[in-house]
Each structure stands twice: as C-alpha cells, then as structure tokens.
Amino acid sequence: MSVDTLLKGVRIIELADGVAGPMASCRLGDLAADVIKIEEGEGDWMRRSPPFLKDGRTSAVFYALNRGKRSLRLVGEPQDARILQTLLARSDILITDRSDTDLARLGLDEALSDKGNPKLIVARISAYGASGPLAGKAGSELCAQAMAGYTRYLGSAMQPSVRLGADVAGVSTAIFTTQAVLAALIERGRSGRGQRIDLSLLNSLLAMKTVHLAAQSDPDSFEGPRVGGAYDPPESGWATADAPVTFAFGGAVGANGRPGWTSFVKAVGLQYLLDDPRFDKNGRSTTGLGPKARELKGEYEKSFRRMPASEVVAQVRRFGGFASAYLTHRQLMAEPQARVAEVVVDAGGPADVLDFPAHFSDSRPSPRGTLSALGQHNDEIVKQLGLETIEARAG
C-alpha cells in the first residue's frame, strides 16, 4: 500500500482563516498535497482561540485545522505582492476567503486572472456567495445557520430557536470545497485549464437540507420523522441504568411484522407489551422516530432502567434492530469500533489527530501532525522561488 502519493506534487496556497478554508486544505494535505498557509500580521485568529493543548499556548482548534502546513507570513513590505504572484504562478490551487478588496490590496488581481496562471484552480469561500444582493457582505457561522433555518431544527415548538453546537456551515463548506477542488483537478487534466469555484456557508447549508426542502412544501410545516425536529421535543434517548440509548425496529412483514421486536421485548422482560394495543407488532411506531415513541418511552424504560446501556444495545442488535448508547468523548475514544476504524491517530504532533475518513485499497493517507510557527517557512519558501530572502519573524 503506497503512502503519501495521492496528491503528491500538488501545491495548494491557503489564504483563509477560521474553519472552512483551513479544514479543506488540511484534508487535501492529508492526501499528500503541499499546503502553504499565507498569514498576515498576527496570523489566523484561530491561533489564539481556546481551548489550548497541554502546553497552554497552542490552540487545539488551530492545530486540528492547520497541522502539516508550511507557514508564510507576509511582513507588510513591497515584496509581498511579488512573492505571492510568483508563488501562485507555480501553484495548482488557491483556497481563499478573502474579499476582492483584500486580494487587490495584496496585488493578486492579475495573478488570479488567466494572464497570471491559466492552470490555477481558485476556490473562493464567502458567507453568501459571489453574486446576489448579499455578495461581499460579511457573515458568520451563526448567520448562515439562522438564515438557512437550521436554528429551527433544535429546541421545542413555541420556544426560542437554538443554534447547532457544531460548526456545520464551516465544516460542510470545507467538505464541498474539497470535492470541488478535486473535480476541478480532474477537469484540468482533460482541458489543461484551471477554473474559478464559488462556495459559500449559506449554499452549503442549503445543499444539506435535501430532505427538509423536499418535505416542507409549506415552509412552516414540520411533520414526519425527517422534519419534525422543530415540532417535537428534543430527542434525549431512552434512559438505562447508566446512559441514554437510541434504538429502532421496523419493517412490516406479514400480519405480525418482523420477528425482531417481538423477540427483543421478550428478552428484556417486556413481553406484556405484546398484548398492549398501543404497540404495533414490529416496533416501528414506538421506537426510533416513530410517531408513538415519545408517548410510550416510559414503558420501555421500566425494563431499561435495570440494565446498563451496553446490555440494552447488545440485545437490540442481537435481534436485528439499530441501537447505540449516547457516548461521551472519552467513551467514544475507548469504543472498539472507533479504534478499529482508526478515527484518531498519532501523527507525531502535540496531540492525536482525526485520520482521513476514507480508506483506500491501494493508497494510505498520512496525516501530518507538525504545526508550523507563524512565518516559520518564510526563508525556505522564498528561496525556492528564487527571490530575495525576507525576514521570517516566526511567532
């Protein structure tokens, strides 16, 4: 199995802060691309964002998104523009979240045109997109969530909206950026030309609303298990002796449905549910996101509260149902399936990192765990370009 060969020889210039751009280039770096992170002044604001690693000064989130990259710090000198222009002329991809004004200030107008490097692929990330009434307007993760309606899928009906705790706009845009860049690389292999890609936090969230947009012919109708999040109470699982679980049976076969649910309730001491008219004979309506699941949750919990979550989950799976305990971070890291999947690996850095989530038959992504200091590679990169050395001012 080959290592570090998938995108070997591909150079990516990242001129972006925060989550979306840095995460996209980080994942491409895991596939062996050479990523150079361009920073100005004090650098990406994420460098100073808590929580910090054990050394007390390295931002955990900055490390997670920017490991394995080389750092070039612009020092506010006239040669900055020449360095960037020369660098882009010799690169394959630019990933940036900078505005037209910022790019012009950096002297990149011509470098980003066909005159500069016709083979260059440019992925530009913004809050709302490159066209329309909000083009060029500043925006944030929470702005995108609110505008796309994601804040309506948590909480309870008639209660204040709630933001998703994860940076779904930034992360999804990073994933779409990675996909788009790889597609553009394939096309460039045919045509010999790069192209410009427009991505936005808002568009990414809208693209992930496939089921919701299809189901909600009335924008304020939240019916059914796929779009009921803003109408039903928040899902908190079924209580057991130690941790909540989620589980589901379903699928009607014949008059009595599948045998799985029937066998399950017998195994966990709930056989009396077979005679309760409120329960269907396959568990579909009373488990998972079934219409009666919340109403009848307490009946299951009479037995579940006497059992550890692991036993409940094992019994559900034994009879063909879906189940998982609600795991804490520590429990997830100890979960055998997570270890087998190599979700987290030691990449030789100050903390373990998330491995590339896809497994290849003939290649092996190799996450790099080193984190560059601000401006650490100034001299190295400039010398490679054949230009005069500039002060590194690493920080």
Helical ranges in 121-249 per DSSP H? 141-148, 168-191, 201-207, 210-215
Quick one: pLDDT at residue 16?
97
How far, in Å, are 39, 59, 96, 353, 384 from residue 46 at the CA level? 11, 7, 15, 17, 28
Quick one: pLDDT at residue 290?
85
Distance CA 28, CA 32 (A): 7
Supply the pTM of this predicted model: 0.87
Quick one: pLDDT at residue 168?
94
Quick one: pLDDT at residue 376?
96
User: Which conformational region is residue 391 in: left (phi greater than 0), alpha (psi within -120 to 50 degrees), or beta?
Assistant: beta
What class has domain 2-210+343-384? alpha beta
Q: Do strands 70-74 and 93-96 pair parallel, antiparallel, or not at all (unpaired)? A: unpaired
How far, in Å, are 27, 50, 196, 262 from residue 272 at the CA level? 52, 52, 64, 10
Distance CA 173, CA 182 (A): 14
Q: How many residues does the chain have?
A: 395
Q: Going from the first residue of the chain to its last (395 residues), give the mean pLDDT of each consecutive group of 10, the final group possibly shorter.
A: 81 97 97 96 94 94 97 88 92 96 89 81 96 92 89 72 87 98 98 96 91 65 56 80 93 62 96 95 88 93 97 96 92 85 86 89 90 95 80 43
Cβ atoms of residues 289 and 225 within 8 Å: yes
For residue 51, is the peptide bond before it cis, meaning its omega torsion is within 30 degrees of 0?
Answer: yes
Q: Which of 268, 272, 279 lies closest to 240, judged by CA? A: 268
What stretch(es) of the chain map to CATH 3.40.50.10540?
A: 2-210+343-384
Angle between helices 141-148 and 168-191 (to 10 degrees): 90
